[in-house]
Chain A
Amino acid sequence: MTKDSYNTSGAGRGSGCFSRLLRKPLPWWTRRASVAAVVLAVSTAAQAGDVTSEGGEFSLRGFGTLGLARSSSSQAEFVRDLSQPDGLSTHWSAKTDSVLGLQANFPAAENLEAVAQAVSRYRYDGSHDPELTWAFLKFEPNPNLSLRGGRLGTEFYMLADSRLVGYSYLPIRPPNDYYGALPFSYIDGADGLATLPLGEGLLRSKLFAGLIREKAPLANRQWDMNRSVMSGAYVDYQQGAWQWRLGYAQVKFKKDLPLADLHQLLELNGAMDASKALSMADKLSRFYSAGAVYDSGPLQVQLMLSRTQHDSKVFENSHAGYLIAGYRLNKVTPFAGFSWTRSSSKQLSTGLGPVMDATVAGIMADSHSDQHTATLGLRWDFRQDMALKAQLDAVRGSPRSIFPTRWEQPNYNGRLNIVSLALDFVF
């Protein structure tokens, strides 16, 4: 067996033929175009209302993005995050950033609200099948406490629960170096948020726990993360223009990566320990994060840092961060950002000799990241509830930095330039 036959963890270097197979013969955007037409019609019909309207009664709202982007290179495909099976190459594509979401809020009683949200986007299986992203009951017995149960988004990292709502932030997508490694967006579980006035500001703390239900694509296979247990907490202090946050989250994965053939080979040769060390089943991953936001009038600045530690040897430990700043000039807000992600390799000896060790090391290196991205862009709030954005991203990294992208070719040089346009709207 060759190395390539195992090379499905994380990235799948050299497996570009699978990438072709994954693409359906019917271009997805033919279906997308009709959806987009409906959205625009609904959105235009709903122009009378704001996103800020209708508090206190049943409401149906939506959000969406029509995005177009292209890359300077097809040696590695740029993805929005690792929930996408493939991404951008040298032709324009709408799949990376386009999204449509609908949300219903039913206030059942004074302190009780039911919320459901469905989202269609380019997802792990290459389809745009809508997914139920939120379906929860929210109970707020007093202004200090908010309890939710059901399917809900997690603030795994600060702002992680609004990653799909392009209208709510400055750039076209959340920085890939920072948020890109998160293939999960909701849990079936519960969370509780406590808010306490402290000094001149507000102290907030949230606890959350639940089961992951999603799948992540790995080359031509899928990693089923179903029934993995996620839990976490954050502490947040907001005063005046400043907001500070420390967060922790952990995931205990239920199932292994789809690498059965690798484990079989190791175990048949008696390398039980190595096989176990490479498994993700019942292994814990820990995610530490810190964030600071300064938001005063026309100026917005965000700094986020994270550190990820995997007990399994199959994923490298990493740290990441980003800094983004924007300044509004009337209806136009130029912004600039810088993000980075780096990981450190792990050692594992199979006891089966250098050839096997090298094969295993190659698989472990699929989760390597060592790159930074410089971003420049503009957001134009040209009419109510709509924004047009244009953005340039320059990804610069080591040729071995293949975790953040998909379908790397052996000649990938670690450099990608991405041009993106988007129309974001809410209705």
Chain B
Amino acid sequence: MMRRYLLLLALCALLPPPDAAADVVVIANPRAGVDRLSRDEVVNIFLGRFRQLPSGLSALPADLPSSQPEKAVFYRQLVNKELAEINAYWARLVFSGRTVPPRQAVGNDDLVSWVAGTQGAIGYVDRARADGRVKIVYEFSP
């Protein structure tokens, strides 16, 4: 675990500066009954492997549009993948008819208000946008 963490740290050091500066956090609806998610749980929910919150509720993940830099930062920090790889991953699951990708928000405000209004909803935004209507359930920074 430690080794993977160090590897990730080393890889993060190689990332271009604007990404490193963005502080993306995972947010959930306060009524979801979840305080904290593990990295594996976040991966399972966003990559469509197992969409259940620890509280037993079905997880409803939402993505930002690719035009938002936070999306690339999120997937880079979560699984060290570029958006092209995430798209290729979803092409396999979508066109084999297995799982659908997270629903897509129009932008940051749309995502936060959707998470605030939907039990089980989970998303990611820059820390500065995570207001009192939503709960931070996972952070990348130590």
B-contacting residues of A (Cβ < 8 Å)? 50-56, 61, 63, 101, 103, 105, 113, 115, 117, 134, 136, 138, 142-144, 146, 148, 152-153, 155, 159, 161-162, 164-165, 167-169, 193, 195, 197, 200-202, 238, 240, 296-298, 328, 331, 381, 384-385, 387, 426
Chain A neighbourhood of B50, CB < 8 A: 143, 195, 197, 202
- State whether B81 touches A297 (Cβ < 8 A): yes
Q: Size class of B's contact patch? A: 35 or more
Question: Considering only CB atoms, which chain A residue lies closest to B87 in the complex?
Answer: A51
Chain A neighbourhood of B95, CB < 8 A: 61, 63, 101, 103, 117, 162, 164-165, 168, 426
The 0/1 profile, CB within 8 Å of A marked 1, for residues 50-83 of chain B is 1110000011001101100000000000011111
- Give the distance in Å from the alpha carbon of A159 to the alpha carbon of B4 in the complex: 27
Chain A neighbourhood of B101, CB < 8 A: 50-53, 55
A-contacting residues of B (Cβ < 8 Å)? 4, 11, 40, 44, 49-52, 58-59, 62-63, 65-66, 79-92, 94-98, 100-104
Shortest Cβ gap from B91 to chain A (Å): 4
- State whether B92 touches A168 (Cβ < 8 A): yes
Shortest Cβ gap from A138 to chain B (Å): 7
Chain B neighbourhood of A297, CB < 8 A: 11, 79-81
Q: List 13 A-B contacts (CB under 8 A).
A: A50-B65, A55-B62, A105-B100, A143-B52, A148-B97, A161-B96, A168-B92, A168-B95, A169-B88, A296-B80, A331-B82, A384-B66, A426-B87
- Give the distance in Å from the alpha carbon of A331 to the alpha carbon of B72 in the complex: 14
- Give the distance in Å from the alpha carbon of A79 to the alpha carbon of B11 in the complex: 41
Interface centre among A117, A161, A164, A297 (most CB of B within 10 A): A297
- Give the distance in Å from the alpha carbon of A61 to the alpha carbon of B92 in the complex: 13
Chain B neighbourhood of A105, CB < 8 A: 94, 100
Chain A neighbourhood of B49, CB < 8 A: 195, 202, 238
- State whether B63 touches A153 (Cβ < 8 A): no
Shortest Cβ gap from A55 to chain B (Å): 3
User: Total contacts A to B, CB within 8 angstroms?
Assistant: 122
- State whether B90 touches A52 (Cβ < 8 A): yes
Q: Which of B52, B87, B96, B97 contacts A384 (CB 8 A)?
A: B87
Chain A neighbourhood of B62, CB < 8 A: 55
Chain A neighbourhood of B44, CB < 8 A: 202
- Give the distance in Å from the alpha carbon of A153 to the alpha carbon of B104 in the complex: 26
Chain B neighbourhood of A138, CB < 8 A: 97
- State whether B58 touches A331 (Cβ < 8 A): no
Given A50-B66, A143-B52, A197-B50, A381 and B82 touching (CB < 8 A)? Answer: yes
- Give the distance in Å from the alpha carbon of A159 to the alpha carbon of B59 in the complex: 26
- Give the distance in Å from the alpha carbon of A403 to the alpha carbon of B62 in the complex: 47
Question: Considering only CB atoms, which chain B residue lies closest to A299 in the complex?
Answer: B80
Question: Considering only CB atoms, which chain B residue lies closest to A297 in the complex?
Answer: B80
- State whether A165 touches B97 (Cβ < 8 A): no
- Give the distance in Å from the alpha carbon of A240 to the alpha carbon of B51 in the complex: 16
- State whether A143 touches B104 (Cβ < 8 A): no
- State whether B58 touches A51 (Cβ < 8 A): no
- State whether A153 touches B96 (Cβ < 8 A): yes
